[in-house]
Each structure stands twice: as C-alpha cells, then as structure tokens.
Amino acid sequence: MINIRFSLSKLIAGLVFLSTGICSAQSVPDFVMPQARETFMRYINWKNGEETLVFPILTDVHCGWGSDRSETYKHFGYMTATDRLFGYDFMANLGDIGLNAGEAHNSSEAADKMVMQTREQMGLFPGIWIYAPGNHDWDGGGGRHFNSQFLSDTFQKPSERYSRGKLHIVEDKAYGYYDIPEKHVRVIFLNSEGTETLGENYYTFDNEQLEWLTGVLKNTSEGTDIVTLSHYMPHPIGRWMSVKDAKRPTCEVLCHLLADFVNRRKGGELGLEWNFKRSKGRLVGLLCGDTHCNQHINDDGVNYYITQGLGFVDPKQMLPGQTHIDFDLNASLCFDVIAIKLKSKQVHSFRVGAGGKDYDLEFTY
C-alpha cells in the first residue's frame, strides 16, 4: 500500500529529489527499507484510514564517540529515505550531534565537518525539519562556541523555504513553533540549553523562553492539537541515577506550566505568571531524547515521552521504568515514527529498527 500526497509543490520537490540521485539504492544500506516497510505496515494497520499527523524523531546520534560512531550522522539520511513510505508531515532532530567529545571537541575543522555532514543528510528531505538543540551541539572545537544563532541558521532556517510562513523561529534563540493549519496542529520546539554553556546551569529553560511558551500556549486557537519537542526531558523520568537529585528549578516550572495548561489552571513560579483558565488548545505531550532510554508517563494530565535514539547508557544508571536496547549501528535503524490520530486523540510511536514492535507504545491525550 502506498501513501500518496496530492501536493503539487511536494511532487515537484520529490522529482528534484529523485533527479539528484539521492534516493538511489546506493544511498542507503540494504537493511534500511526492509525495516521501514515492516514498521510502515504496522502503521497502516493502526491508522485504519483515519487522518493522522505523522513524523519521525531521531536523537542522540553522538558522532565521534568512538571509532564505530564516525558515520552515525548518516542515519539522518537513512531516515529521510523512509519518507517515500510514510509521507511525513515533517521530520525532527532532537539534538546531541556529538560535538562535545572525541576529535570534534579538540578540532574546529572536525567540528565544522561534523556539522556540514549532518546538515547535508538532513537536507535530503525536501520539507520541514524541526530541530531542538542538545547539550552536545555547542562545542565548535578548540574552544570555539556554536551559539543558538549558528545552530538555528544551520539546522532550522533552511526549512523556512518550505513552510510558507508557518515556521516561526525566535531570533537568536533556536526555539519556536511550526503551524500545520490544514491539520489544526501546532508543533512547538524548545531549547533546553538556555544558558548556552556546559557549566553547572546547562539543561535549563530560561525564564524568557518559558514566558514565550506561556504566550504561545495561551494564544493557541480552539481545536488545535499541540505537540511539544525538546532534547532534554524536564520531568524526573528523564534522569539517570547519577543525576536524579540535580536541582533544575526551571525544569520543574516547565512541568507545572504544562500541567496547568492541560488542566486549565492559573499559576506561576520564579517570577513567571500564567492563566490558562480560558485556553483553547489541547496538548498531545512533550517528546524528548537525551536519556538514551525509552519511557512514557502521564503525570497530572501531561504525556511525557522519551525516545532512545542512537545513544548508549550503562544499565546501572537507568531508573525504574526506563528501557534500552543494544543494537548494531551498521545493521539497524533506531528511531521512532510518531503517529497521531487527530480525531480519536490517540498517539502511537512505531519503532523503526532496534526492538521493532516490542518498543512500540500507545497513549491518548
């Protein structure tokens, strides 16, 4: 069964895409499309003809963390190849390219090359990429710093040409939102590295961003479903054993803010105030990476979802409820396709590659 999109602009873009040879059999390994097709059939059976929002999320590629990870950036290209099956509404890169370790940490040339390679792979998809910066995306090598402006210009701004004015990026901040009016969906992407440092205060959502988010949520129109994406998971389920007691006040504020939005409450903390009693939008959930594990929880009405991505973790660091599957990077994909039934308010994550259907997950909102 083939998913056909009747969009002239996307058809033209697809023809250009094919003419460049990007979709040739040589561009992806033999394991990619069979794994994608197997997942696609699960998706089609679940979809059952209902309108869906569908997009993949790939995170924690961590290039350069060892000799076997020197080409993990290619997994972005592998993921773009699966669009020919699913017909994605957009794609998401949830951060941690891997610039703060290995050769790229010491060499600006290596860091520049890694950024270029990643961007080239993302560019194989002729459509919208949503990017949420990770804590391993800031080091430009040799003491040079990649700031929010650089990361946004590199990984987000190229998508503006496809957005028809629906992609709104906060200047210099690398966070914003993307509206899909024909499906009544708003996709919010956050920057969890608000201080742009790797000091004790990283993994933070600064007050300016939270104030912006409050306004965006409050002004979302009636009947709109809201998907929120971030690299770092602010809820405690996103911690590892070694950092479970770390104090990150604005992360707690973000969780309280989202819960008050879902439950139409008034609140405020750390100098911020909000009143969602008359708000109209409906929150699908907060989808994140960073922890290198798989987990979902609904806390005070908010769905928090973590996807494993290509990261690794010592089992001794994992919290109860977290799962992780080891796999061969050279023989398997590992990303989730998120599908949302917009009428029945069901969400299903479909694992492509590592773990297969055993790592699918479903929840409602």
3-class state of residue 93 by DSSP: strand
Strands (E), the chain: 52-58, 91-93, 129-131, 139-141, 144-145, 167-169, 176-180, 185-189, 225-230, 266-269, 272-275, 282-288, 295-299, 302-306, 334-341, 346-353, 361-364
Reference 304, options 217, 204, 244, 236; nearest CA is 236
The domains of the chain, with CATH numbers, are 8-364 (3.60.21.10)
Q: Give the residue from 178, 180, 196, 197 showing the smallest Cα distance to 188.
A: 178
pLDDT recorded at residue 200: 57
Query: Looking at residue 351, what is its pLDDT?
Result: 98
296: which residues sit within 8 A by CB, 6+ positions away?
Answer: 303, 304, 305, 306, 361, 363
pLDDT of residue 247: 74
Calpha distance 226→186 (Å, rounded): 5
pLDDT at position 365 is 98
- Percentages helix, strand, coil for the chain, rounded to the nearest 5? 35, 25, 45
Determine the length of the chain.
Answer: 365
pLDDT at 249: 87
- Per-residue confidence (pLDDT) for residue 211, from 0 to 100: 97
The whole-number pLDDT of residue 348 equals: 98
How far is the C-alpha of 136 from the C-alpha of 157, rounded, in Å? 20
Structure tokens at 271: 């100098």
- Please say whether the beta carbons of 65 and 103 come within 8 A: no
Sheet order of strands, 334-341 included:
129-131, 91-93, 52-58, 334-341, 346-353, 361-364
pTM score of the predicted model: 0.91
In the predicted model, residues of the chain with pLDDT beneath 70 are: 1-26, 194-202, 244-246
User: What pLDDT, on the 0 to 100 scale, is given for residue 195?
Assistant: 58
Residue 317's alpha-carbon distances to 243, 293, 312, 314, 324, in angstroms, are 9, 11, 11, 5, 11
Cα–Cα distance for residue pair 115/121, rounded to 1 Å: 10
Q: Quick check: 235 and 288 in contact, CB under 8 A?
A: no
CB atoms within 10 A of CB 272: 17
pLDDT of residue 197: 57
Q: Which residues of 83-98 are buried (b: 16+ CB within 10 A; e: fewer)?
A: bbbbebbbbbbbbbbb
